[in-house]
A and B are shown apart, each in its own frame.
Chain A
């Protein structure tokens, strides 16, 4: 296929993916909006007002970046894993497998679909947060770069999950039992400076800590970790996940008999 034809194929997947999550907005866009609004009300407005300052900011200001990033991560991941596994489950992934599209086109089509949902939900949550606090983004480049890289990384991770998933339980295991706990323990609700040294050290093994803090640095200008380290880590994981996805597609693992 020529480059122009690959572009058409890529656009077709992206368009289909975006239309899919917009069509089922009650399942894809509404729940994170409601959940995050509740977080803002309970942790920010009600409990947060009694907690006082954290890292030099009101508690509401402190938690907002983490909650936005949590939404981006969960939704980018969920979009790809549910969409690609659905295609496998109903066998219409074969429409793609019999076509002459390159593996890169297939992969980036699904990844950009995941990124689009992650960013859209992130935007919705950001707009909702403005009802509770004001946001003055300190480093716009860092903010955009980390949110883009993170959504790409988790879209790729969702793709890997979808390839190996055998049933719908396998699709929800990682978001429920891995992503959510790691995000909660990744400094969304607290600064690791509050933790004893041992637990602060343990927290530094959690990749979510770096992602959340890099985003918080972009928005608030403060971070518990080195932002360069965060970018290197996200970049490294993204490259590794991309290479593995390409291997899965080219070898046909779990896709071709």
Chain B
């Protein structure tokens, strides 16, 4: 399988002396759905900026499908579609013009651009808005417009910098479905997000960046295996006592119909239910207290 993105020893020192990247290495395989996570100011957007050539690197190598951004930038750019964090289109142009003009910048004829614009605007639910000036769109529509624009030249690598920031839950879910669909069709996707649930449900591999360094780079499954414990919230139809004890597990009383239970690595839910049955406790529902990845993420950053 080809390497979609290869980063070696990438360093960036801004003019004000701030070292945003301290020599990171990263590899994303073709077809992957890759999450690049990190707190604000960790270096995610700088990394994306360098790959998409909007930020100049201080040192290191970047190859996109084998094309060096140093020596073969035009070929590398052709392979990439970028959806930035901030809106970056003309407020006065229509949705249609923004997408079709972007195709023109990649040398696509207006006939081809028109066909593709129709395809992606329809898929992203913007077809009815094609004649509307972009400033009239809602926040969610603007995000989808940037995705359509990034896909118009059908890149093999799509980079999305927090694409669902400020997007309502329903729309976020539909964007997840869309991204999953294009990933299945062969497009490699790199995603940065603050919604860890998003990364967990979409991505197969993950890198966590902090302070300009990659602190973790593994598969999502391997990362989640590092989880030492999970906390569940259980609901009971019958009232429980504040002194509730479940044999073999740590618990915390929340209210008379709800309590927390800690499941350590190595234990199974069967054991939990066996213990609950033994005490005659009926459980009406249960859920994770927090996103699993979130716990790991916080743990990794705190461990530094």
Complex: how many Å from CA A101 to CA B53? 13
Nearest CB of A to B163, in Å: 16
A99 and B88 in contact (CB under 8 A), knowing A256-B56, A257-B49, A257-B54?
Answer: no
Q: Which residue of B lies closest to A97 (CB)?
A: B54
A256 and B86 in contact (CB under 8 A), knowing A99-B105, A100-B74, A100-B75?
Answer: no
B-side interface mostly = loop
A87 and B90 in contact (CB under 8 A), knowing A100-B77, A100-B78?
Answer: yes
A100 and B106 in contact (CB under 8 A), knowing A95-B101, A95-B149?
Answer: yes
Interface pair A12/B54, CB less than 8 Å apart: no
A95 and B109 in contact (CB under 8 A), knowing A256-B53, A257-B14?
Answer: no
Among A1, A11, A86, A257, max chain B CB count under 10 A is at A257
Interface pair B88/A92, CB less than 8 Å apart: yes
User: Is the C-beta of A96 less than 8 angstroms from some C-beta in chain B?
Assistant: yes
Among B101, B105, B149, max chain A CB count under 10 A is at B105
Interface pair B107/A256, CB less than 8 Å apart: no
Among B92, B101, B102, max chain A CB count under 10 A is at B101
Interface pair B56/A252, CB less than 8 Å apart: yes
Interface pair A94/B84, CB less than 8 Å apart: yes
What B residues does A111 contact at CB under 8 A? none
Interface pair A257/B108, CB less than 8 Å apart: no
Within 8 A of B (CB), among A1-51: 1-2, 4-6, 8-9, 11-13, 16, 23
Nearest CB of A to B58, in Å: 11
A98 and B107 in contact (CB under 8 A), knowing A90-B88, A90-B91, A91-B88?
Answer: no
Within 8 A of B (CB), among A188-211: none
Nearest CB of B to A170, in Å: 19
Complex: how many Å from CA A216 to CA B269? 92
What B residues does A143 contact at CB under 8 A? none
Interface pair B107/A257, CB less than 8 Å apart: no
User: Is the C-beta of A58 less than 8 angstroms from some C-beta in chain B?
Assistant: no
Interface pair B107/A1, CB less than 8 Å apart: yes
Within 8 A of A (CB), among B65-94: 73-75, 77-78, 80, 82, 84, 86-92
User: Is the C-beta of B55 less than 8 angstroms from some C-beta in chain A?
Assistant: yes
| In-complex Cβ contact of A97 among B53, B87, B101, B102 (8 A) | B53
Nearest CB of B to A105, in Å: 9
User: Is the C-beta of A180 less than 8 angstroms from some C-beta in chain B?
Assistant: no
User: Is the C-beta of B104 less than 8 angstroms from some C-beta in chain A?
Assistant: yes
Interface pair B108/A8, CB less than 8 Å apart: yes
User: Is the C-beta of A102 less than 8 angstroms from some C-beta in chain B?
Assistant: yes
User: Is the C-beta of B52 less than 8 angstroms from some C-beta in chain A?
Assistant: yes
What A residues does B78 contact at CB under 8 A? 1, 100
What B residues does A6 contact at CB under 8 A? 107
Complex: how many Å from CA A98 to CA B106? 10
Complex: how many Å from CA A2 to CA B54? 23
| In-complex Cβ contact of B89 among A5, A92, A257 (8 A) | A92
A94 and B107 in contact (CB under 8 A), knowing A1-B74, A99-B102?
Answer: no
Interface pair A16/B106, CB less than 8 Å apart: no
Interface pair A8/B109, CB less than 8 Å apart: yes
Nearest CB of B to A130, in Å: 34
Q: Which residue of B lies closest to A1 (CB)?
A: B107
Interface pair A99/B106, CB less than 8 Å apart: yes
Complex: how many Å from CA A2 to CA B109? 13
A98 and B82 in contact (CB under 8 A), knowing A11-B104, A257-B55?
Answer: yes
What B residues does A8 contact at CB under 8 A? 104, 107-109
What A residues does B149 contact at CB under 8 A? 95
What B residues does A98 contact at CB under 8 A? 52-54, 77, 80, 82
Nearest CB of A to B179, in Å: 19
- Supply 20 A–B pairs (Cβ within 8 Å), ascending by A: A1-B74, A2-B107, A5-B106, A5-B107, A8-B104, A8-B109, A9-B106, A9-B107, A12-B101, A12-B104, A16-B101, A90-B89, A91-B88, A92-B90, A94-B84, A97-B54, A100-B107, A252-B56, A256-B54, A257-B49
Q: Name B residues whose Cβ lies closer than 8 Å to a Cβ of A.
A: 14, 49, 52-56, 73-75, 77-78, 80, 82, 84, 86-92, 97-98, 101-102, 104-109, 149
Other A-B pairs beyond A92-B88, A101-B107, 6, CB < 8 Å: A4-B107, A9-B105, A99-B105, A99-B106, A100-B74, A100-B75
